Amino acid sequence: MGSLDGKVAFITGAARGQGRSHAIRLAEEGADILAIDLCDQIDTVAYPMATETDLAETVSAVEALGRTIVACRADVRDYGAMEAAVAAGVAELGGIDIVIANAGIAPMGSPEPDVPAMFRSVIEVNLIGVWNTVMAAVQPMLAAGNGGAIVLISSTQGLKGSGGNGSGAMSGYTASKHGVVGLMRTFATWLAQNNIRVNTVHPTAVTTPMVENEVMAKYAASRETVAAGTNLLPVPTLAPSDISDAVAWLVSSQARYVTGVALPVDAGFNAK
């Protein structure tokens, strides 16, 4: 038996990277999955984003574990689309117990002919998208009255902030990831009376396509403050599964009294 038997987890950005890893890890613990991803390119992002093929691979991986998964394309920037995705998932899976707001972009190093537009695009995905995700998903959770757990995926940049260079991408990324902590704290206060716990996870660099691509590699190589991006422990990056293990613990009964917490999984990045 798994720690999440009988639960349904709603995961955004689930087509690849951390989102796929979270879906697989929670499915291993017995959860059924509602998985969404944009599966399209955003104009301000220069690195290749996830595709429908990627999302299909997530579906196959979850089904191989004997769990049910509902997967669809949806844009976290669109509240109506999030409501529709939630409705589709609830209709087939029976409800939502867990929310993992994981979708995000990190377009540092992408061309910025319009810096304000770049800033807005990052905020819309990484911050407004998280608000949309939680607000759409929490309605059936409240109606069911069974409590639940919500994890918002932030970043080390949501606790520290480093490497600012005046770009819309970097300032937007850091501001959005700090903003996610503010959302977590307000949601945790609001939802505690309904036994719904809300926490953030703050990874250092993780080996995902969002981090390991030519655009990000060139950006990192050109940074004057590259030393500020290193970890205290002697590892350059973490595996997606390292973050998923923390997520799986936070949404399990083992963490039943943990709420309002910003949890670093950062190899000591913030301690340096």
DSSP reduced 3-state for 73: strand
Alpha-carbon radius of gyration of the chain: 17
Nearest-angstrom CA–CA distance, 185 and 192:
11
Nearest-angstrom CA–CA distance, 9 and 32:
6
Give the residue carrying structure tokens 């002697």: 234
Q: How far is CA 158 from the centre of its chain?
A: 13
* Nearest by Cα to 13 from 240, 256, 264, 269: 240
Alpha-helical regions (H) of 124-191: 129-144, 168-191
Tokens encoding 223: 């940074």
Continuous segment of H or E residues that includes residue 202? strand 196-203
* Nearest by Cα to 131 from 78, 208, 59: 78
How far, in Å, are 22, 50, 57, 193, 258 from residue 102 at the CA level?
Answer: 9, 13, 18, 24, 19
Give the residue carrying structure tokens 């890893």: 21
66: CB partners within 8 A, 6+ apart: none
DSSP reduced 3-state for 232: coil
* Catalytic site includes residue 173: yes
Given the residues 47, 79, 173, 257, select the one marked as catalytic: 173
Q: Which residues are catalytic?
A: 173
